[in-house]
Structure 1
Amino acid sequence: MVEIHMVGGASLKTHELNPYLKAVGSDYSNGVNFAMAGSTVSHGVSPYSLNVQVDQFVYFKRRSLELIELGLKGPVSKEGFENALYMMDIGHNDVAGVMHTPSDQWDKKFRQIVSEIGDAIRAFNKKLSDLCDEVRLRLKDATVVYTDMFAIKYGFVANHTKYGIEWPLMVCCGNGGPPYNFMPGKFGCGDLCGPEEKVLSWDGVHFTDFGSGLAAKHAMSGEYSKPRVKLASLLNGGSKKPSSVS
């Protein structure tokens, strides 16, 4: 689960970001990865919920700037923080996790959300989009972009033949073969799909490399973003306005 990424540089053609919690031998010149598996927005579920990751970023930035003020080389420069692209992708586990809670807890926690997963996700994303609108008004010097990843990924399933995907709901790591490669009560991976196979999901929760690459391409296009800007154009150090999508 990817939560907070800080990406720098002239383009997204960069090496994988080093994790914040692995400081020894890490290169943060192209950005920092604050992600932690199983993380949530809500408190009390994961030890690394969103507020903890934000605190980690705040400390990382403060410590970096302190080192620079002392005449030392910080992991990231002041200009690096100002011109970086910050990506936050979180909330999946909050929605998925509540599906496994007892009904009385469900009613207390999601009283305003119907039981259908799709409706819950759309309601979650609507609130997130509204929050981005508020943040955009407050942070006049920042470009705040909301990207609808649910619409992107749902489109792969609904229009799977367009992408050459034969079994859109099949997982790569599972048992039983098509159409789902899932057998109740049986755990672990049977025969894994090959790298050449167009399978979207790894285990029913996480995307495969193929699925992630496809999703990233659509996200970068800006067609699913609000405002509709090409995300790569945000990595220009502020030298020009972000490129809009016609």
Structure 2
Amino acid sequence: MLIDFRNKTAFPGWEQAPQFLSQLITSNNIKNVLEVGSGANPTLDAETIMALGIHYTTNDLSAEELEKAPKEFATWQADLCNEETVKNHSKKYDLIFSRMVNEHVKDGKQYYKNIFELLSPGGITAHCFSTLYAFPFLTNKVIPETLSDKLLDIFNSRDRHQHEKFPAYYSWSRGPSKKSINKFESIGFEVIEYVGYFGHGYYKKRLPFLHYLEQQKANYLVKNPVTSLTSYAHIVLKKSI
């Protein structure tokens, strides 16, 4: 089990996601991938999928989001927090992946239990997500959604057609602690790696001095980690055979 703490510049949930996912696929001989919540924006493009020789399904709650997805992908409209949905789905996957999705899940326990059921024996699941107690994400959780929407436009504006904002709950979205590890193991997963990341870029455009202080804090915490102060994490879990 790899437990580590790093600066958010190494976080594989954004620009580095295609490389991170491709490495998981090739190093684990993956043939059948489900990406959760990727509707409009699958992590890998069609050319990469063809080169890897894999079957790739993009999932989302929203039919509207799935309609935005490239037509080369298989799609599955489903709520992975719904136990009945998973019971009625017979297909199994070698790899189930998500990025920047798990913080939006209401019931982390049921979500991961469902993922466990959807995996083939020996399959793996990997997730990149934001964690609760970093200040921007704690603010996002406790203030009204309309206000957090306005703050996002100020500090991190985006194309809302391709990258809509969704409510965040942070259920089971924490940095690598013994308590979190025990939760995953209680479902039956083996924790392969669990990495927490410090720092964020939300002050960079509007508050450069605060951004500087945030980066200094992040560098200090990498060397002196406090798990509850992570901003992001990634985890890789394996379903035992």
TM-score normalised to the size of structure 1? 0.29
TM-score normalised to the size of structure 2? 0.30
Considering Cα pairs closer than 8 Å and 6+ residues apart, tell me whether 1 or 2 has the greater RCO: 2
Structure showing greater radius of gyration is: 1
